[in-house]
Structure 1
Amino acid sequence: MEQGEVRRLLKDTFSISQDADFIVHQPAIHEDVYSYKYEDGPGPNTQDLIFDLTHGSNTPWNAKILDMLVKELQKRNVEEQSDGYYKAILEDRYKWLRMAWRAAQPKVTAKGILETVAEVEERLVTKRDENLKSVCQTTRRQNKYICRAKILQHVIKLKKDDEDDDLPAWMWLETLIKTLGDGGMSSEESDVGNDLQCVLWVKKMAWHHGIE
């Protein structure tokens, strides 16, 4: 419940519908952050909260924002929790939002120049597609494992009822599948083996007649 409320609070505060939307967040101005830390500056604007995304959550600027968000969570939640509990959740969410933002910042290319906007977008799309493919493959492996485990369980039950001689072999196979787990299942889109080439060799049999 608290996790969901934290997400809703961040969405309302920063006008985002998902973490990926945070990549357009404009970080706090360095001079304002410096002034608040060393020169008794005014600090974050309560009406327009802006994180200092160049640093983690423990800096005076970001800690002040998190304290403001904690107080807002205390107002929203019927079930009271300690400030430390809410702050820990908010710090974790800030970490993920900052990671999303940093991933969208231009990086230095192999040529020693910063990426263009188009190159950044292409990199993010490629990374997203890779993540989606990985999730799909993991799901396939999990489904395949569950299916095989259920089939083996059913077969072994039938073998026990009929007292079949090959029951030990099926029980060994069930143990093997459980040992491998879903990580040991092959993916339908596995890249392994795609570069293998099938070669056919003619066997020389003693009874073959030599033909030129």
Structure 2
Amino acid sequence: MRTQLRPALVSVLAWTILLGFVFPGLVTLVANILFPFQAHGSLIVRNGRVVGSELIGQSFTLPIYFHPRPSAAGNGYDPTSSGGTNLAPTTDKLINGVHHGPKATDNFDGMKDLATAYRQENNLPSTMPLPTDAVTRSGSGLDPDISVENALLQADRVAKARGVEVSRVRRLIHDYTQPRQFGILGEPRVNVLRLNLALDRLYPVTKRQ
């Protein structure tokens, strides 16, 4: 019994130290040396204050800002309630929504509602096709990026609200477009937080709308 118990305990202790302390500590050390920005949460700091992370989306609703894709995380972009709708693509609730009560929790905007709202806020024709990310929620509910097409469709609204030429806003979108990862993964995208911070820096507005 003792001959079997001792090596078992030593083995458990050794692997616990190795995998529970040494390995995580080594990974943390290497990450802090080689990738300090990513290792600390990809936090974006402005004027000495953390304004967000480029990995976690935020809700922007004012017309002077680009808006992110819809979110099903909590009340929208709640990092403590990350998640999607878990609804099938053909579900009536996902397409048409549910509206049957005075409380926000009683209602759910379907893709048709989101499409109507998107076209109205961006002054688009009612029959104009929209990019998928404009009317669908991401799996995490915290997607920080939007498609280039989505950003370009919002450019006129943002330019008008800020009183600048739309060509400048479109150029800014181009400047902040991130290519496919490694040239093959995903699609070109625009980080909403970084783009909105650039707008505030280059074309500030004194009165919020």
User: TM-score normalised to the size of structure 2?
Assistant: 0.22
Which protein shows a greater Rg? 1
User: TM-score normalised to the size of structure 1?
Assistant: 0.22
Higher helix share: 1
Structure with higher RCO (Cα < 8 A, 6+ apart)? 2
